[in-house]
Amino acid sequence: MNKSNRKPASTLREPAELVAHGLARAADLAVLDKVAARYAVAVTPDIAALIDSDDPDDPIARQFLPSAEELILHPGENADPIGDHTHSPVAGIVHRYPDRVLFKLVHVCAVYCRFCFRREMVGPGKPAALARDTYRGALDYIRAHSEVWEVILTGGDPLMLSPRRLSEIMTELAAIDHVKIIRIHTRVPVADPARLSPEMIAALKVEGATTWVALHANHARELTDKARAACAGMVDAGIPMVSQSVLLRGVNDNAEALEALMRAFVECRIKPYYLHHGDLAPGTAHLRTTLAHGQELMRRLRGRVSGLCQPDYVLDIPGGHGKAPIGPNYLSAENSFSPEREQHDETRYRIADYCGDVHLYPPEP
Ligand code: SF4
């Protein structure tokens, strides 16, 4: 807990509450009210306690505290930056790739990230959970599509459901023969680790399907002792975990911060999975880096930590065309030309090592 902000007893949702707890300036209240009227605000006590309000560049504050820059809309930004709507055959389902669907159960989160790609769809005022008949319709869709091997519970944050409700849903999904994997995307273990009670962990495990949990965290400081214990509870229960992070300007866009984050995941038995390039969500340009900078950071990460600590750097192609890996390329090819035979003879490869030095790979037979 930083000395200058008092730890709140409950989640802060209004700019005036942020001011009262030393997390925002009274002079900014009017503009922050405008931001909060458009995009949901929530800062849990655990996250508030992590913010160093003496540091104007605090990487935790940048992720969760609203800012006037969010009112600036940049070209290309839009409410559905990764094209969920284009691939939604029924309410609550996004079916973009053949073998998996997103199942959006809830539209609320423990915290609201200032860079959220679904920021126009989550928060108070949006339907809190799928109504009974739309939930049934989504489940029927999954039942009717035997190619769906993996169901990804997302939202919002599925761990905002009660353990009882989550257990019912997990049981219904696992009862579908072709559903073998249920993946849950969540920020709760860092934002509100106390929710990972024994009942919640028990709800995650079901007969008939394997559960994976993907933890969203962007800075090593988010992996507090309590967050690490919450993750350990899941891994000890036999639930494998992967990470997902967003590359964010002023949060993790330097090699040291990225390295510390990936090491922290691996220490928690969480395999780094995705490092997302920031999506074109409205009012988030101040948090995005360039693609070239992202590639340079990935190159540097490769030279600093083992393969265990390497995520895939990915971009969700705007318009709903799916994810593309955009990490640096280490291999280049050139064809050698044989003047006698007037034809290209063989392909020669050049490969860069982690220091950037280039080496020849012998021609293939
Ligand atoms: S937890 Fe996920 S869905 Fe919720 S605000 Fe953050 S990024 Fe968006």
Average pLDDT of span 214-226: 98
Give, for ligand 1, the residue of 80, 122, 246 to mutate: max count of ligand atoms closer than 8 Å to Cβ. Answer: 122
CA of 113 to the centre of ligand 1 (A): 6
Res 96 pLDDT > 90: yes
Average pLDDT of span 120-148: 90
Res 150 pLDDT > 60: yes
**pLDDT for the residue numbered 351:** 95
Give this prediction's pTM: 0.94
Res 74 pLDDT > 90: yes
Give, for ligand 1, the residue of 47, 113, 188, 218 to mutate: max count of ligand atoms closer than 8 Å to Cβ. Answer: 113
**Alpha helix ranges (H) inside the chain:** 15-20, 29-38, 45-50, 59-64, 132-144, 163-174, 188-191, 198-204, 225-236, 255-267, 291-304
138 in contact with ligand 1, CB cutoff 6 A: no
CA of 116 to the centre of ligand 1 (A): 5
CA of 156 to the centre of ligand 1 (A): 6
pLDDT above 70 covers what percent of the chain? 95
Res 249 pLDDT > 50: yes
**pLDDT for the residue numbered 334:** 83
d(CA 301, CA 269): 19
Strand-pairing partners, residue 313, are 275
Strands of the sheet containing 358-361, edge to edge, are 331-338, 343-352, 358-361
Res 194 pLDDT > 50: yes
pLDDT above 90 covers what percent of the chain? 85
Res 61 pLDDT > 80: yes
Res 335 pLDDT > 60: yes
Res 19 pLDDT > 80: yes
Number of helices (H) and strands (E), helices first, in the chain?
A: 11, 12
Q: Which atom of ligand 1 is nearest to the CA of 112?
A: 5
Active site members: 96-97, 100, 109, 113, 116, 118, 279, 316, 323
**pLDDT for the residue numbered 3:** 44
Res 224 pLDDT > 90: yes
- How confident is residue 5, by pLDDT bands cut at 50, 70 and 90? low
φ/ψ of 54, rounded to 5, equals -80, -15
Average pLDDT of span 336-360: 81
CA of 322 to the centre of ligand 1 (A): 19
* Mean pLDDT score across all residues of the chain: 94
Res 243 pLDDT > 60: yes
Which residue puts its alpha carbon closest to atom 7 of ligand 1?
116
- How confident is residue 124, by pLDDT bands cut at 50, 70 and 90? confident
d(CA 120, CA 102): 17
109 in contact with ligand 1, CB cutoff 6 A: yes
Residue with tokens 């990230």: 113
**pLDDT for the residue numbered 344:** 64
276 in contact with ligand 1, CB cutoff 6 A: no
Q: Which atom of ligand 1 is nearest to the CA of 187?
A: 1
Which residue puts its alpha carbon closest to atom 6 of ligand 1?
113
Residue type (1 letter), 328: P
Higher pLDDT, 155 or 138: 138
**pLDDT for the residue numbered 339:** 67
**pLDDT for the residue numbered 121:** 86
Residue 146: both structure tokens together: 């035997």
CA of 109 to the centre of ligand 1 (A): 6
Average pLDDT of span 66-95: 93
**pLDDT for the residue numbered 54:** 94
Strand-pairing partners, residue 337, are 344
Q: Which DSSP state fits 329?
A: P
**pLDDT for the residue numbered 1:** 43
246 in contact with ligand 1, CB cutoff 6 A: no
Residues whose CB falls within 8 Å of the CB of residue 242, separated by 6 or more in sequence, listed in order: 212, 213, 214, 215, 270, 271, 272, 273, 274
Res 21 pLDDT > 70: yes
Res 36 pLDDT > 80: yes
